[in-house]
Copies of this chain bind each other. A is one copy, B any other.
């Protein structure tokens, strides 16, 4: 016969069914339900983290005092403060950012959404972001969309669940609907766009000198005496694609050159696309005498392929591109590029985000253009140098 844990009676106990696999009892005299308990109380889990509670226990003070000591707050005597800090050091305490963030409503973490880490541009951006974030005492959470809209949405969802304090976004190629981030923006989540920006939301935007760079590259080609300049552009939807094409068109117009639609190819940056474009251009009655590739890899691929085909660079064909410096230097002939500063983009973007976070919504929106630099090498030097 069982005993009621409440009134200690053992005469008025009846069985009252099963619950969660255990027998349930009912004490009629005090009207109390209960189950048999199992005497299992082992907590063998090794404790990885020291808490302020541990410190409080050791010191014989309250957790409030420990908190004050560790955060250098007032209302505490220097002696106590130092003693606690010493113990904290000894016990190898470090604060649980989760609990901290949880209670203060901020997590000291920012989220970054990019298409692909492996692309040197984004790796550089990340490096810049990291640096600035570290200076501000923030951690960085990174997600890749792999150019998939769906993944991007899921990623942002995940970052949001982790309660990031802010978001740095560079959209995937696929992304054309922005209701998700629009709603986040409306809710007041600090966000900054960079590179692959989105014009439909009123966030600060960090961009590279796409228009100006393209303009400078094409103008350089024209000054070198090239007349029939083709452009190997990216996907039509991509903003950098549009901007760089605009720079290209503007340079042509400015210098009175004809714009020929057959010289304008849009593609997906793949090697196949680049080579096929070159093939098709060569079959024109008037093939281009220079190519502006908005992606440096395509430019490099064109150079390699031209060598295979026996095309003389830069005399028969001038080539310029956007982007990465190192590879451009290595290829033969070295590639004239408009060099961008990925790390700088990351730094500027992160700094902007921290401004937005600090100013709590009432910031003045601002767009920033990170300057690039024209680097002239042999792939476009038709004239003798000088």
Contact = CB atoms under 8 A, between A and B. Distances in A.
Given A144-B130, A327-B327, A330-B330, A162 B98 contact: yes
A96 B140 CA distance: 18
* Size range of the chain A interface in the assembly: 35 or more
Nearest to A101: B98
A5 interface: no
A46 B274 CA distance: 49
A143 B126 CA distance: 10
A48 interface: yes
Given A102-B99, A163-B49, A117 B130 contact: yes
A177 to B, nearest CB: 16
Contact of A161 (B96, B144, B188, B189): B96
A162 B143 contact: no
A364 B163 CA distance: 35
A160 interface: yes
A17 interface: no
A109 interface: yes
A94 B139 CA distance: 21
Given A123-B117, A141-B139, A187 B331 contact: no
Contacts of A189: 48
A102 B92 contact: no
Contacts of A98: 98, 101-102, 107, 162-163
B142 A142 contact: yes
Contacts of A188: 46, 48
A78 interface: no
Given A120-B120, A139-B141, A96 B127 contact: no
Interface string A291-308: 000000000100010000
A92 B327 contact: no
A122 to B, nearest CB: 8
Interface of A: 46-49, 92, 94-99, 101-102, 107, 109, 116-118, 120, 123-124, 126-127, 130, 139-144, 157-163, 183-184, 187-189, 300, 304, 326-327, 330-332, 343
